[in-house]
């Protein structure tokens, strides 16, 4: 892998943001709305609940972490869709750029764009709703890494779906995080799910992360097994997503899909 | 002054396509096509719509896998060393416009990084001047006139001083004066920089003026090959345009018979 082509993919996104700052708006707005909405819900729950339980870390922390994972996925997918929308595939893939360089560029772009949203979320959640986000220390970093890797896998997988099925299939990828969220057990323990849903949850790294975070907040010992299992599932899924993208790309080169990819090319 | 090429020059052809086949299901799009483009040579790839020109170009660019056969750019097999081969080539096509939401300069820098161009800032400046784009450097490509877009696409295509340049109807949207200037630039590129050029066009006067050699494709096969100025007379046509129309309309066997 060469660094300059990767830098090119990242620089393109910076140019797009510079040329049209309005693109920053959705990066910030939705996460801010989520934090404000859930912030007030948790505040209300704290006042009406007689249990003495503080809902801020469990609910608001859950929203923040799930949004982080979703932003990473959307960052990868949006950077990919920029090439779909500008019909740039022929120019890109007739250059010496390799698939691994392209995907690396998308991932770095996603890190940069999603970090804008994450900063806004953390500032709002800590400043307005007093979420002590960093009080969990190192375990938080470890769990965030698992969510980051899963977000990348999801972004690569959904980009491959759009490459395979055509531009109109981008509407399949936006609801993907919402579709997965009941299984990710963001707001409730895994045990409340029916048995079959728990099986699906075990294939999703976020379910390990949220179980682990709840254990930490409840003052139980560090859930090392959950972290290890979540990390393993996340790495396997990242490899599978990269393999799937490679297969779809090779299929597109073999069948001519890549060469004639346009707004009308839904197969 | 001729500019130094990025890669060392050799006597290998800029492009060697050997027995290319492309089959889609039961449709044979390209059937046993072989040809070379030498350094400093401009080869016209001609043929009616659906003849297989774009399919052939896409296989040379590595965005379409050949069913059989192989493509070598400067002696490098694209199926084995894709990045090395593509670093030596570039293209401009009417159906592959530069991203309209980036400015001319941003596009040149973006593609310059993808091609790993050394001293990129200097090279971009050089091309902006050469293609009369300096005053448009901060204009988004989507806002350019079609003539300006063609010049921007050509500037992108020359970023890496390619040894093989593929041009798909490069003057299609230009007025006669602009088209003449572009033709002159491309001819000097072949002559001075020893770049091999594969050119497709439906403008037969242009092909006659620019190309050293032409290949007529019809239904995926190379039907005729030769000098565009003498080929029509060799096959009983008065002009290249007449010959093109015959190739497009007559059954394959008739032309092939006449060619023997």
**Based on the structure, what is the number of domains in chain A?**
1
Point out the residue among A8, A20, A254 whose CB comes nearest to the CB of B110. Answer: A8
Point out the residue among B24, B93, B110 whose CB comes nearest to the CB of A12. Answer: B110
Backbone φ and ψ of B211, nearest 5°: -80, 140
pLDDT of A178 reads: 92
The answer to whether position B20 is within a domain reads no
Say if residue B45 is in the same domain as residue B168. Answer: yes
Say if residue B138 is in the same domain as residue B169. Answer: no
Say if residue B125 is in the same domain as residue B252. Answer: no
Last residue of a domain, one of B141, B161, B181: B161
B77 CB neighbour count, 10 Å cutoff: 15
Interchain contact, A2 vs B112, CB within 8 Å: no
Q: Which residues in A have their CB inside 8 Å of a CB on B?
A: 2, 4-5, 7-9, 11-12, 15-16, 19-20, 82, 86-98, 250, 253-256, 258-259
Last residue of a domain, one of B132, B161, B190: B161
The CA distance from B149 to A237, in Å, is: 42
Q: Are strands B68-73 and B15-24 parallel, antiparallel or unpaired?
A: antiparallel
A65 CB neighbour count, 10 Å cutoff: 22
A85 CA: distance to closest CA in chain B (Å): 9
Cα of first residue to Cα of last residue in chain A, in angstroms, is: 31
Interchain contact, B110 vs A259, CB within 8 Å: no
The answer to whether position B183 is within a domain reads yes
Long-range contacts of A85-90 (CB under 8 A, 24+ apart): A85/A167, A86/B99, A86/B100, A86/B101, A87/A261, A87/A262, A87/A263, A87/B96, A87/B97, A88/B99, A89/A258, A89/A261, A89/B63, A90/A258, A90/A259, A90/A261, A90/B61, A90/B63, A90/B93, A90/B95, A90/B96
At A107, which helix (H) or strand (E)?
Answer: helix A99-127
B103 CA: distance to closest CA in chain A (Å): 9
Last residue of a domain, one of B136, B161, B186: B161
DSSP state of A168: G
- Chain A, nearest residue to B83 by Cα: A96
Say if residue B153 is in the same domain as residue B176. Answer: no
Count CA atoms within 13 Å of residue A4 on its CB side: 14
Say if residue B174 is in the same domain as residue B236. Answer: yes
The answer to whether position A197 is within a domain reads yes
The answer to whether position A264 is within a domain reads no
Q: Percent of chain B, pLDDT > 70?
A: 92
pLDDT of B246 reads: 84
The answer to whether position A206 is within a domain reads yes
The answer to whether position A260 is within a domain reads no
Mutate: best of A5, A12, A93, A105, partner B, most B CBs <10 A: A12
Task: Report residue B121's pLDDT band, with 50, 70 and 90 as the boundaries.
Answer: very high
Measuring CA to CA, how many Å separate B237 from each of A255, B242, B245?
38, 6, 10
Query: What is the Rg, in whole angstroms, of the alpha carbon atoms belonging to chain B?
Result: 18
Mutate: best of B71, B80, B99, B168, partner A, most A CBs <10 A: B99
The answer to whether position B11 is within a domain reads no
Six token digits for residue B31: 């059937």
Say if residue B187 is in the same domain as residue B247. Answer: yes
| Edge-first strand listing for the sheet containing B68-73 | B27-37, B15-24, B68-73, B76-77
Say if residue B135 is in the same domain as residue B174. Answer: no
The answer to whether position A267 is within a domain reads no
Say if residue B219 is in the same domain as residue B185. Answer: yes
Say if residue B127 is in the same domain as residue B201. Answer: no
**Between B3 and B50, where is the model more confident?**
B50
Task: Report residue B8's pLDDT band, with 50, 70 and 90 as the boundaries.
Answer: very low
The answer to whether position B61 is within a domain reads yes
The CA distance from A228 to B155, in Å, is: 52
Say if residue B110 is in the same domain as residue B230. Answer: no
Range of the domain at A130: 3-255
Smallest CA-to-CA distance from A216 within A208, A181, B258 is with A208
Q: Which residue has the tokens 């660094």?
A: A3
Range of the domain at B48: 36-69+81-88+164-260
Say if residue B194 is in the same domain as residue B248. Answer: yes
The answer to whether position A234 is within a domain reads yes
Point out the residue among A8, A9, A94 whose CB comes nearest to the CB of B91. Answer: A94
Point out the residue among A7, A94, A256 whose CB comes nearest to the CB of B62. Answer: A94
Mutate: best of B15, B114, B137, partner A, most A CBs <10 A: B114
**Between B253 and A205, where is the model more confident?**
A205
**Between B173 and B201, where is the model more confident?**
B201
At B199, which helix (H) or strand (E)?
Answer: strand B196-200
Asked if the model's pLDDT at residue B9 lies above 70, the reply is: no
pLDDT of A265 reads: 46
- Positions of E strands within chain A: none
Interchain contact, A95 vs B64, CB within 8 Å: no
**Based on the structure, what is the number of domains in chain B?**
2
**Between A54 and B57, where is the model more confident?**
B57
Estimate to the nearest angstrom the gap between the alpha carbon of B220 and the chain centroid: 18
Say if residue B45 is in the same domain as residue B171. Answer: yes
The answer to whether position B157 is within a domain reads yes
Q: If you count residue pairs, one on A and one on B, with CB atoms under 8 Å apart, how many are there?
A: 95
Counting as low any pLDDT under 70, the low residues of chain A are: 262-267
The answer to whether position B179 is within a domain reads yes
A80 CA: distance to closest CA in chain B (Å): 13
* Chain A partners within 8 Å of B93 (Cβ): 90
């Amino acid at each position: 892998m060469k660094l300059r082509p990767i830098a090119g993919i990242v620089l393109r996104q910076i140019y797009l943001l510079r040329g049209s700052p309005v693109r920053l708006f959705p990066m910030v707005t939705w996460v801010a709305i989520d934090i404000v909405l859930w912030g007030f819900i948790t505040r209300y729950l704290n006042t009406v609940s007689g249990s003495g339980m503080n809902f801020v870390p469990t609910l608001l922390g859950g929203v923040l972490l799930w949004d982080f994972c979703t932003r990473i996925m959307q960052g990868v997918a949006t950077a990919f869709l920029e090439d779909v929308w500008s019909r740039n595939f022929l120019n890109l893939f007739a250059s010496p750029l390799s698939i691994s360089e392209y995907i690396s560029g998308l991932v770095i772009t996603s890190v940069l764009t999603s970090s804008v949203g994450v900063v806004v979320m953390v500032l709002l959640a800590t400043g307005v709703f007093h979420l002590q986000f960093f009080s969990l220390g190192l375990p938080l970093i470890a769990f965030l890494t698992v969510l980051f890797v899963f977000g990348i896998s999801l972004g690569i997988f959904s980009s491959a779906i759009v490459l395979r099925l055509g531009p109109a299939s981008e509407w399949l990828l936006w609801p993907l995080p919402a579709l997965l969220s009941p299984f990710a057990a963001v707001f409730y323990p895994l045990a409340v799910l029916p048995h079959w849903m728990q099986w699906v949850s075990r294939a999703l790294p976020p379910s390990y992360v949220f179980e682990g975070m709840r254990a930490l907040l409840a003052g139980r010992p560090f859930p090392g097994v959950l972290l290890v299992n979540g990390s393993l599932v996340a790495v396997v899924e990242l490899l599978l997503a990269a393999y799937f993208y490679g297969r779809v790309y090779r299929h597109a080169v073999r069948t001519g899909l890549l060469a004639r990819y346009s707004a009308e090319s839904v197969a | 002054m001729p500019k130094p090429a990025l890669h060392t020059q050799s006597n290998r052809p800029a492009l060697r396509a050997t027995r290319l086949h492309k089959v889609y299901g039961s449709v044979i799009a390209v059937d046993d096509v072989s040809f070379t483009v030498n350094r400093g040579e401009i080869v016209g790839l001609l043929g009616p719509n659906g003849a297989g020109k774009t399919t052939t170009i896409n296989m040379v660019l590595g965005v379409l896998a050949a069913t059989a056969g192989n493509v070598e750019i400067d002696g490098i097999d694209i199926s084995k060393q894709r990045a090395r081969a593509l670093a030596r080539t570039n293209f401009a096509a009417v159906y592959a416009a530069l991203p309209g939401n980036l400015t001319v300069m941003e596009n040149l820098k973006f593609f310059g990084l993808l091609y790993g161009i050394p001293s990129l800032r200097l090279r971009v400046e050089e091309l902006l001047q050469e293609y009369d784009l300096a005053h448009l450097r901060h204009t988004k490509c989507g806002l350019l006139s079609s003539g300006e877009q063609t010049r921007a696409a050509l500037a992108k295509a020359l970023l890496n001083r390619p040894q093989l340049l593929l041009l798909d109807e490069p003057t299609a949207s230009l007025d006669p004066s602009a088209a003449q200037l572009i033709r002159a630039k491309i001819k000097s590129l072949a002559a001075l920089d020893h770049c091999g050029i594969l050119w497709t066009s439906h403008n037969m006067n242009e092909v006659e003026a620019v190309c050293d050699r032409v290949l007529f494709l019809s239904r995926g096969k190379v039907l005729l090959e030769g000098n565009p100025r003498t080929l029509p007379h060799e096959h009983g046509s008065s002009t290249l345009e007449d010959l093109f129309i015959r190739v497009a309309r007559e059954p394959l066997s008739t032309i092939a018979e006449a060619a023997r």
